[in-house]
Amino acid sequence: MPPTKSFIAIPQDSDFTLYNLPYGVFSTQGKQPRVGVAIGEYVLDLSVLEQVDLLPIKYGPVFAQDSLNEFIAQGSVHWRAVRTAIQTLLAADNPRLREDDALRARALIPQSQVQMHLPVQITGYTDFYSSREHAFNVGSMFRGSENALMPNWSELPVAYNGRASSVVISGTDIIRPSGQTMPTGTHRPIFGPSQKLDFELEMGFIIGRKTLLGEPVPVDIAADYVFGMVLLNDWSARDIQQWEYVPLGPFNGKSFGTSISPWVVPMAALEPFRCSAVPQEPEPLAYLRTPDRYTYDIHLQVAFEVNGHETLICESNFKYLYWGIEQQLAHHTVSGCNLQVGDLMGTGTISGPTQESLGSLLELNWNMTRTVPLKGGETRYFIEDGDTIIMRGFCEKEGIRIGFGEVRGTILPALDFPALETL
């Protein structure tokens, strides 16, 4: 068991306890980005600890970097060793950092004084479609409940390859996308700003181990290839997507922005929160089958912030996913597609069985047949300019709490496009 108490005062409801220690990349005024971990209301600067040889680094330096990629590439043995060393240094009964005033002043920085950056150099991005409730709801709207799930959905984790360059850190504003849409009653598409801009409540997992081209990852060891998890909002322009997705799938309706939280929670921190996964019927093919399927009990929330008022509109849970991340990874690589350290995989929208647990506005408004009420008397079908979407996630059990912080983004107006004849 790790130490249970730190010499740092940690608020009772903090996401960033000694059990957690999520990794992120931060900068302070006049200094370059480097790697730290969140502890209470502070960031522990790992580049400082690295300089004084307090961390077991195989090949260094790895923390005086603007991404986690070099550290992640050292492998799971070193992830565990560094995590244990950090927990030991922060323990209440360890004087090494606690009693060294000069070192502590350099290494512990209030989170209010830092700027966060993308935690990893994202080499590729894949987004799955793994919530049965979400897939059934969306299918029911457009094809009826009897044909809601396509024949392949219960046989494999459906996914598409997204755009890594437009993955952004929490707090980055998102410009409303423009594109082609096909309004009801028209004979040809029109061009203009999306009128049905949506969020998707997801989680992302970061790949921690590369593979060779042609090398599949067996499902029973796929967990060894995952470094940690983040909150993820895969913004979605529903009207653009609906017109373009046949026959090849999402493109401009998705590629304009994907937001992730700044702190990567290591998989080791999630171990106390393992729980049984939902049953699968039919039984998956052998390459997707595991004898002891599990998932994690992660509470997820979505809030709207409009005119200074925040309204909680969704409470879901990671455990509702039908296809687990190990199955997603096994299917992703079964063709021989190679992995790179830093690849980002999105789980797909995570919806639950109740109205309150629906993970997108398309479901909450049921294809514009009901409005979503907000504080201050406002209502919404979809996101309007100036609206902010906030997602949060945390685990709590038997006095242990870990959290992911939040991922937020504000929608800005679409850009003006000059008339073609003036170009």
What is the per-residue pLDDT across 36-85, written as a single tens digit (0 to 9) for each?
999 999 999 999 999 999 999 878 799 999 999 999 999 999 999 999 99
Q: Supply 393's token pair.
A: 């996630």
What domains lie within the chain, and their CATH numbers? 23-117 (2.30.30.230), 125-417 (3.90.850.10)
Residues designated as active site: 134
Closest to 359 measured CA to CA, from 314, 411, 328, 402: 314
Mean pLDDT (the chain) is: 96
DSSP letters of 339-384? P-TT-EEE------SSGGG--BHHHHTTTTTS-EE-GGG-EESSPP
Closest to 193 measured CA to CA, from 124, 261, 125, 239: 239
Burial group, residue 45, by CB count within 10 angstroms (0-12, 13-18, 19+): buried
On the CB side of 25, how many CA atoms lie within 13 Å of its CA? Answer: 22
The pTM of this model reads 0.96
333-361 pLDDT, tens digit per residue, is 999 999 999 999 999 999 999 999 999 99
Spatial distance between the Cα atoms of 126 and 116, rounded to a whole number of angstroms: 23
Interval 155-177 mean pLDDT: 97
2-33 pLDDT, tens digit per residue, is 667 999 999 989 999 999 999 999 999 999 99
pLDDT at 2: 65
Q: Supply 260's token pair.
A: 């992730």
Residue 390 has pLDDT above 90, yes or no: yes
Stretch among 141-155, 389-403, 409-423 having the lowest mean pLDDT: 409-423
pLDDT at 422: 46
Spatial distance between the Cα atoms of 186 and 194, rounded to a whole number of angstroms: 16
Spatial distance between the Cα atoms of 281 and 238, rounded to a whole number of angstroms: 30
Q: Sorting pLDDT into bands at 50, 70 and 90, what band is 420?
A: very low
Closest to 406 measured CA to CA, from 237, 260, 199, 227: 260
The conformation of residue 78, written as its DSSP 8-state character, comes to H
Q: Are 303 and 310 in contact (CB under 8 A)?
A: yes
Query: Which residue type is seen at 21?
Result: L
